[in-house]
Amino acid sequence: MSLWITWEVTPENAASEGNFKEGFQTLFENSVQEALRMENVETPVQVSLTIVDRDAIQEMNRDFRGIDRVTDVLSFPMLSYEESPRMETPASLDVAAAAEQEENLDPDSGEVVLGDIVICLDKAKEQAAEYGHSLERELSFLSVHSMLHLLGYDHETKEQEQVMFSKQEAVLEQLGLSR
């Protein structure tokens, strides 16, 4: 698995910026890998993760979704799934099938390009305080939530929400970051 992380924001304490980013790099890698492991995805994949501020995510939300407000996370899946949103087919089968189609592969690495995750650091900090848990837990939650979207899950109906949210909590529990 390749996880490409881009920081478009500078942490408040710039003196420890390197340590801050390094610590969260590991958190993001563990969150993404655990989501893939729990979904039995063994096919090599690639994910892009960008950390932005309020203005940047509001602009993306407006431009790509037509919603002109700040959000916590955006997911941009590159694969289209036969059954969307996912309810029956395991993610591992769809990702393996995607690997058989050249247009789904990064030409340099041969990995299946799952898509992009964009997280608003400011919003994550606000939500961590609001929910009374750590920033680590909130950032892990947002990355796992978005990974499940990249794998074809959604929460448009109550049934879909139950499936997706139970998977999120299972991943976070495995990581020791449950509520």
The CATH number of whichever domain residue 12 belongs to comes to 3.40.390.30
pLDDT of residue 15: 46
For 79, the domain range is 2-174
Least confident stretch, 18-22, 42-46, 114-118, 157-161: 18-22
The Cα–Cα gap between 79 and 103 comes to 10
Write the burial class of residue 174 (CB in 10 Å: 0-12 exposed, 13-18 middle, 19+ buried): middle
In a domain, residue 179? The reply is no
pLDDT of residue 49: 98
User: What is the mean predicted confidence (pLDDT) over 54-83?
Assistant: 93
In a domain, residue 136? The reply is yes
Counting the structural domains of the chain, the total is 1
User: What is the mean predicted confidence (pLDDT) over 167-174?
Assistant: 96
pLDDT beyond 90 at 62: yes
The sheet with strand 112-120 has its strands ordered as: 2-7, 45-52, 112-120, 73-77
Backbone phi and psi for residue 22, each to the nearest 5 degrees, phi listed first: -65, -45
DSSP state of 7: E
Pairing of strands 2-7, 112-120: unpaired
In a domain, residue 14? The reply is yes
